[in-house]
């Protein structure tokens, strides 16, 4: 694995800080914290950059609250200026790590996500769980591992999405369309 070096200058650079501010504003533009930061955004951003360069930046206190949709849980939200730092870090580290991730990692990645993971699960299901060949050796003959996707897990997944993907046969998965025999 290659080692990435000299990332700090890119992280604290002015263009990266501006991009981080833009990305942080995306869904928080009308929040009180964002409006307060935006009132004098260039000076606030310059002050934040100086704190990072001078190694005096300290994360602020998190705001804790509870939500109940879709299930009860506690949320801890970082202050707006800390989220700018988070975005600045992601701007620098994402290009370094993204090419090294495995293909089947779907969480928090551009162009991936829950729906793509579900579609991939159905592809896996089509290749390994619904094949007319039976048993452990059948999946191995198709070039995969029988442990990748089990039929009960895929059925649970299909029930969770309400059958919206049911009946769709992924490209190259002729086995899914054949009757089990």
The predicted structure's pLDDT at residue 36: 92
Residue 127's pLDDT is what?
Answer: 59
Q: Which of 57, 44, 43 is nearest to 11 (CA)?
A: 57
Does 160 share its domain with 79? no
Last residue of a domain, one of 68, 100, 132: 100
Neighbour-count burial of 146, counting CB atoms closer than 10 A to its CB (0-12 exposed, 13-18 middle, 19+ buried): middle
User: What pLDDT, on the 0 to 100 scale, is given for residue 109?
Assistant: 84
List the beta bridge partners of residue 175.
Answer: none
Q: Say yes or no: 125 and 61 in one domain.
A: no
**Within a domain: residue 108?**
no
Residue 87 CB contacts under 8 Å (≥ 6 apart), including other chains: 19, 20, 21, 23, 24
- Give the model's pLDDT for residue 133: 45
Q: Could you list the pLDDT tens digit for every one of the 181 residues in the chain? A: 678 889 999 999 999 999 999 999 988 888 899 999 999 999 999 999 999 999 999 999 999 999 998 899 999 999 999 999 999 999 999 999 888 888 888 888 888 888 888 888 877 766 555 444 445 554 455 455 544 444 555 555 555 555 544 444 444 444 443 444 4
Q: Which of residues 47, 66, 100 is at a domain's end?
A: 100
Q: How many domains does the chain have?
A: 2
Q: What is the pLDDT of residues 41-65, one digit of tens each?
A: 999 999 999 999 999 999 999 999 9
Query: How many other C-beta atoms are found inside a 10 Å radius of the C-beta of residue 78?
Result: 15
Which structural domain range is residue 148 located in? 114-177
Residues 18 and 93 in one domain: yes
């Amino acid at each position: 694995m290659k080692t990435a070096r000299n990332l700090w200058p890119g992280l604290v650079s002015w263009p990266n800080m501006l991009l981080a501010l833009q990305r942080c504003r995306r869904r928080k533009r009308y929040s009180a914290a964002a409006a307060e930061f935006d009132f004098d955004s260039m000076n606030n951003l310059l002050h934040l950059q100086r704190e990072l360069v001078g190694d005096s930046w300290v994360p602020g206190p998190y705001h804790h609250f509870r939500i109940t949709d879709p299930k009860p849980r506690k949320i801890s939200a970082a202050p707006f200026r800390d989220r700018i730092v988070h975005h600045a870090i992601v701007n620098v580290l994402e290009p370094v790590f993204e090419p090294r991730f495995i293909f089947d990692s779907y969480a928090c990645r551009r162009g991936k996500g829950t729906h793509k993971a579900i579609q991939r699960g159905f592809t896996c299901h089509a290749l390994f769980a619904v094949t007319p060949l039976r048993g452990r050796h059948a999946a191995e003959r198709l070039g995969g591992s029988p442990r990748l996707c089990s039929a009960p897990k895929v059925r649970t997944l299909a029930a969770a999405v309400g059958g919206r993907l049911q009946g769709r046969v992924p490209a190259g998965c002729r086995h899914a369309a054949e009757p089990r025999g």
